[in-house]
A and B are shown apart, each in its own frame.
Chain A
Amino acid sequence: MSAPISSDEVRSDQVQPDQVIRAQGLTRRFGDFVAVDALDLAVERGTIYGFLGPNGSGKTTTVRMLIGLLTPSAGSVTVLGHSLPRDAEWLKRRIGYMTQRFSLYEDLSVRENLQFVARIYGLGYRQAKARIRTLLDAYELADMSRRRAGAMSGGQRQRLALAAATMHEPQLLFLDEPTSAVDPQSRRDFWEKLFDLVDAGTTILVSTHYMDEAERCHRLAILERGKKRADGPPQQLMDDMGARVVEIEAPDQRRLRQQLLALPQVVSAAQLGSRLRVLVADDIDDPVAWLRAQPVAVGAGTIEAARPSLEDVFVISTGGAERE
């Protein structure tokens, strides 16, 4: 099964030694609806690549195309040097996939679920036993190995799902909104596990709609309505977002926001408790002084520059779509 394909792998590896995923013009239509629109992607080995986008932005559809579950309507995908959907079966042994919805068996125990996955991936009895013990320890599931998956908390289920997805030690791991049903502490712990996997040489592609998670990725693509709006390392995205952040403390924020939004230089203004977070286009050199000079800002309290966040990048890159 793998013999004729491996030569293919060598060839494409020579061209792009470090790219584990490469997609060009990736498009998927469902009837008239375009879920993913001409997406170009390149994911490098040993990194965490994030898809950031709201619900319905095409994250899941893209992930499904990248693992060969959905056939693209147009465009090409190469994963681990193999073209999809042709080599989907070959890839299944080398990639792990953690679905958005918990997809292990709720009526089986932790150990039974892992045993099932181990056998399906063809691990021998002894090999499976050792691997399951390692995973139970690594994902802190050892003391609940007899508990049914259906009776576990969101965080525990998520660790079980990750353990199952990494059972066959895949080179490439796809995680589709892995932390959507999990509390913040579990989320932090979960990301620790992901970095452990990356240290061991795994490449991870993760989709999320949490900014704090997106910030942890090595590289990020912001998706909106099936289109890629931005792509790059989070810090670079923040540096290059084309706007500066200013926070204003003011008594009547609602009115001030309306008035600020009427100015062409103001990209967005959002209320954060008692403060107003304003994004000002970066052709204005000193946004604090500029704002203070505006008539609408009369009566405002402190006006100071703030550190840009990914949310600002997100607002700017997706706000463009609304103006189109």
Chain B
Amino acid sequence: MNPLRRILAILAKELTQLRRDRVTMGMIVMLPLIQLMLFGFAINTDVRHIPAALVDQSNTALSRVLAQAVTATQVVDFTERHATPEQAQHAIVQGRVRAALIIPDDVAKRVARSPSLGLGLGTPRATDEELSRPVAQWLVDGSDTMIASSIKGLRNMPLGELLRKPVNQSTPTFAVALLFNPEQRSAVNIVPGLVAIILTMTMIMFTSAAIVREGERGNMEMLINTPVRPIELMLGKIVPYIFIGLIQALIILGLGHLVFRVPLGGGLLALTSATLLFIGASLSLGLVLSTIAKSQLQAMQMTIFILLPSILLSGFMFPYEGMPRAAQYIAEALPATHFMRAIRAVLLRDALLADIRTDALWLLGFMLAGLIVASLRFKKRLD
């Protein structure tokens, strides 16, 4: 009875303090709202309308049609024209454009001989210099691999349209069936990930300051002189934020569904369990930080220390599978990685609780370990 009463005392106190803190209350709602809108619209892995320069050395009707055909792909926009490749390269160095298309003066001859046009010359031998010459050349700022690969995608652009000839039907080697997200919209993958990122940020931030704040405001000396036990204090501190975490998840997923048409598949049980476990894991991780930090500023720095790898290594921005082994191990030690996997599986691939049990158990482990470590580290002494 008394332990419960003490937990409730801490809980009620936290809620009252939170209610009086207008800025924090505003952040609870505005943070997920603004981040969702910002990232939902902004993050797009399908790069389009790259600014490019055009160097048309042939200046013929054909070269103009070729440039139009390239524009029609929407991959690039020709924002400037130059007389020489050197000038175009200069524009790339200055950052005004990311790529330049050089159309040589013999483009007509090259197009006529191009096998992709299928003028009946058949596939050229690899050694045939004349026939294997490309039609034109791209100069690309290769430093950004995503832009480079978008332009590389233009390498095999069909040329049939240039001569108003029907494009030859080519048979792909593989048939690819997209099981989920058939429209290939980035937002569908981003929004569930945002739940993980925003919860990581707010949950760890709230609790990492929780214990330190009591010390900084001078309340700790009173608190440690009461019969409250460390674990009671820890539980009383995290329970209010569980509700806040749920509200934030609800805002992100609800708006994500309405605005970005993110499917809400899978089981409600799986979704709720994964979210609750992740909230618990993040909160108890924050508590551990709170027992290490000496000031609220230090607590904030530690939150960032956890947040950055959570954004970059959890699979939110880059696929987990593409990372080196060592980075994968680090990622496994972050609760965000496990939640990222679980919530994407549930929302996007209709997974059930049984399908995500491994990650759910990881999160449960993080939560319990965090609570135990924080309670053990918290000493009711000043020395």
Chain A residues in contact with chain B, CB under 8 A? Answer: 64, 67-71, 85, 88-89, 92-93, 95, 97, 99, 101-108, 112, 115-117, 119-122, 164
Contact = CB atoms under 8 A, between A and B. Distances in A.
A103 B382 contact: no
A177 to B, nearest CB: 13
A119 B9 contact: yes
Nearest to A124: B5
Given A104-B222, A116-B9, A71 B383 contact: yes
Interface centre among B10, B21, B225 (most CB of A within 10 A): B225
Given A103-B219, A119-B6, A64 B12 contact: no
Contacts of B9: 115-116, 119-120
A70 B383 contact: yes
A64 B218 contact: no
Given A117-B226, A120-B9, A69 B221 contact: yes
Nearest to B11: A119
A101 B222 CA distance: 10
Given A69-B224, A122-B2, 8 more contacts: A68-B381, A69-B381, A70-B382, A89-B227, A93-B227, A115-B9, A120-B9, A164-B222
Nearest 7 A/B pairs, CB to CB: A119-B9, A103-B222, A122-B2, A120-B226, A101-B218, A97-B225, A99-B221
Nearest to B220: A103
Contacts of B224: 69
Nearest to A164: B222
B264 interface: no
A68 B13 CA distance: 26
A88 B10 CA distance: 21
Nearest to A68: B381
A142 B6 CA distance: 25
Contacts, number: 82
Contact of B221 (A103, A112, A115): A103
B219 to A, nearest CB: 5
B222 A108 contact: no
30 contacts: A69-B381, A70-B381, A71-B383, A85-B381, A89-B380, A92-B225, A92-B227, A97-B221, A97-B222, A99-B218, A101-B221, A103-B219, A103-B222, A103-B223, A104-B222, A105-B217, A105-B219, A106-B217, A107-B21, A108-B13, A115-B9, A115-B12, A116-B9, A116-B12, A119-B9, A120-B227, A121-B227, A122-B1, A122-B2, A164-B222
Interface of B: 1-2, 5-6, 8-10, 12-13, 16-17, 20-21, 217-228, 380-383
Nearest to B17: A107
Contacts of A71: 381, 383
A74 B382 CA distance: 17
A64 B383 CA distance: 10
Contacts of A106: 217
A102 B218 contact: yes
Looking at chain A's contact residues, the main secondary structure is: loop
A122 B227 contact: yes
A120 B228 contact: yes
B380 A108 contact: no
A85 B13 CA distance: 29
Contact of A64 (B17, B217, B226, B382): B382
Contact of A105 (B6, B17, B221): B17
Contacts of A115: 9, 12
Interface centre among A70, A102, A103 (most CB of B within 10 A): A103
Contacts of A88: 380-381
A28 to B, nearest CB: 9
Given A71-B383, A119-B5, A119-B6, A104 B219 contact: yes
Contacts of B218: 99, 101-103
A101 B382 CA distance: 15
A122 B5 contact: yes
B17 to A, nearest CB: 5
B381 A105 contact: no
B227 A119 contact: no
A103 B6 CA distance: 18
Contacts of B12: 115-116, 119
Nearest to A148: B20
A129 to B, nearest CB: 14
B96 to A, nearest CB: 54
A210 B324 CA distance: 68
A99 B219 CA distance: 9
Contacts of B227: 89, 92-93, 120-122
Contacts of B16: 107-108, 112
B19 to A, nearest CB: 10
Contacts of B221: 69, 97, 99, 101, 103
A230 to B, nearest CB: 28
A101 B12 CA distance: 24
